[in-house]
Amino acid sequence: MALRVKALESLMVEKGLVDPAALDAIVDHFEHKVGPRNGARVVAKAWSDPAYKARLMEDATSAIAELGYAGGQGDHMVVVENTPTVHNLVVCTLCSCYPWPVLGLPPVWYKSAPYRSRAVIDPRGVIGEFGVKLPDEVEVRVWDSTAEIRYLVLPERPAGREGLSEDELAALVTRNGMIGTARL
């Protein structure tokens, strides 16, 4: 696959369709300037500020933009909330749609065919392979991303963590927690 991508890129550069420096800048932007830390700040603010959480659940795109995170691959955001009885899992069965402004670039497994197919066929099994044993009474909801709508899981706030600042709370939030392949 890496060779095929390289061959495709070489061909497009040769034909003058893309500028390699521009490609490097885009990848660098999403690897280093954007990433799951943005999503973690959204989650920490929702945990700390009930009014913000209400706005986030009502209109995630605007509430996320309040923190400065917006743009391509995040134009139509929906936040789904984990509760003691509901666990949410995000996938893109068709390809690899992912909320770039809040999570950065998708991990390799998110784009893999086994994850994409099995997340809908056996979500509980897939989550189990990530090391999470969901109690039988917890309902699993799977959200299939599209070119339009991108999902962010709002994990449950870990218990016994009162009095932490937003920054300290954000440090508890993991990328997989916001995809739904981890519980915090």
Give the residue numbers marked as catalytic: 92, 95-97
Question: For residue 57, how far is the Cα from the chain centroid?
Answer: 16
For residues 44 and 74, which CB has a smaller minimum distance to Fe ion in the complex? 74
Choose, by CB under 5 A, the member of 42, 92, 170, 173 that binds Fe ion. 92
CA–chain centroid gap for 22, Å, is 24
Identify which of residues 52 and 109 has a Cβ nearer to Fe ion in the complex. Answer: 109
**Helices and strands: H and E segment counts in the chain:** 11, 4
User: What is the dihedral sign for C-alpha 156, 135, 86, 91?
Assistant: positive
Give me the amino acid identity at 142.
Answer: V
Nearest Cα to 65, choosing from 42, 40, 90, 34?
A: 42
The pair phi, psi for residue 129, each rounded to 5°, is -70, -20
In the complex, what is the shortest distance from the CB of residue 104 to Fe ion, in angstroms, rounded to a whole number?
A: 16
Question: Is 179 an interacting residue with respect to Fe ion (CB under 5 A)?
Answer: no
**Residue nearest Fe ion (C-beta atom):** 97
Cβ 92 to Fe ion, closest distance in Å? 3
The count of residues interacting with Fe ion (CB under 5 A) is 5
**Residue among 13, 95, 120, 171 that touches Fe ion (CB under 5 A):** 95
Binding residues vs Fe ion (CB under 5 A): 92, 94-97
